[in-house]
Structure 1
Amino acid sequence: MLLNDVLRRLRFALSLDNAATIAIFKLVDYELEESYLSNMMLREEQEGFLPCRDKTLWLFLDGLIINKRGKKEGAAPPELKSGQRMTNNDILRKIKIAMNYQQDDMMKILRTAGFPVGKGELTALFRKPDHRSYRECQDQLLRNFLQGMVKTYRPDAKDKSTN
């Protein structure tokens, strides 16, 4: 799934405008220019489109965790290593932490999107990659989870993030 889509859908679900998004980046000491953010929000086919890098989304999600849960004393959040790519599992895990979701909350959100999953399937997404029961989060599940968040937090809004 395109990282720009993840950022766009999260912003829409949580009703974050440019100022709120930039403030979230500032929580992790990252200065993001509004013009750069605006260009990341464009569609691929639109002129001026800039792809969202893994590190940019990683920092946004870390900032969202701080915004929703508060700054954790002591250790700084782990950084994305050079050359490391974000997986859908990483994205889902960070959203889960930021929004303080429990397993039942996540299952409800997926049911809201018309994409029910079992507890075992959901649990497998949060295991370590070397665990025998680990499962990779596919784009379809992540897309439906984000859609379920939109339906949960903005039930009356037409989803402009996918148009």
Structure 2
Amino acid sequence: MTNNDILRQLRTALDLDDAEMVAIYKEAGFAMNPTTLPLLLKQEDEEGFIPCANQLLTFFLEGLIIRRRGRRDSTGGNTSQPGAALDNNTVLKKLRIALDLKEEDLLAIMNLAGMPTAKADLAPLFHAKGHRRYRECSDLFLQTFLRGIAGRR
């Protein structure tokens, strides 16, 4: 699943228009050019398509967290740097924070999307990468989760 796919699916799931998406980027301190955004949302085979770099998706996710939850106190916590590695687990974690989802919410979303999931299957997705119980979040799981968010609205 590409970053562009994730951005497109989030736009649909959260029912965001271009102006809202540009505002979300601004929340994270990134000035998204309104003419660039539609190019990020195009399919790979469409003319003018621009690949969405990890940094751009991270800015969007951080902006979404700020917009939905407010800014963090600058004295605590570890905020990810926009250039940091971005994988499906990180995207899932950031969405969980932004949407203020509890374990029960995640299970309900996955059930709604047609992929019933057990509590025991969720926890490993949120462990740190080096943890012995860590499990990678598959593209299918993330895609299903994004579909579930859309169905939840």
Q: TM-score range by the shorter chain?
A: over 0.9
TM-score, normalised to structure 1, is: 0.89
Q: Aligned runs of 1:1-163 on 2, under 5 Å?
A: 1-75=1-75, 77-81=79-83, 84-153=84-153
State the alpha-carbon separation in 2 of the partners of residues 27 and 151 from structure 1. Answer: 26
Moved over 3 A (4+): none
State the alpha-carbon separation in 2 of the partners of residues 88 and 142 from structure 1. Answer: 7
Query: What letter corresponds to residue 71 of structure 1 in structure 2?
Result: R
RMSD: 1.2
Deviation per residue, 1:118-159 (Å, 9 max, x gap): 111100000011111100000000000001011111xxxxxx
Query: What letter corresponds to residue 52 of structure 2 in structure 1?
Result: C
Q: Point out where structure 2 has 5 or more consecutive residues left out of the alignment.
A: none
State the alpha-carbon separation in 2 of the partners of residues 73 and 103 from structure 1. Answer: 24
Q: How many residues align?
A: 151
TM-score, normalised to structure 2, is: 0.95
How far apart are 1:14 and its partner, in Å?
0.9
2:56–2:82 contact (8 Å) kept in structure 1? no
State the alpha-carbon separation in 1 of the partners of residues 41 and 80 from structure 2. Answer: 26
Q: Point out where structure 1 has 5 or more consecutive residues left out of the alignment.
A: 154-163
2:13–2:149 contact (8 Å) kept in structure 1? yes
State the alpha-carbon separation in 2 of the partners of residues 16 and 91 from structure 1. Answer: 18
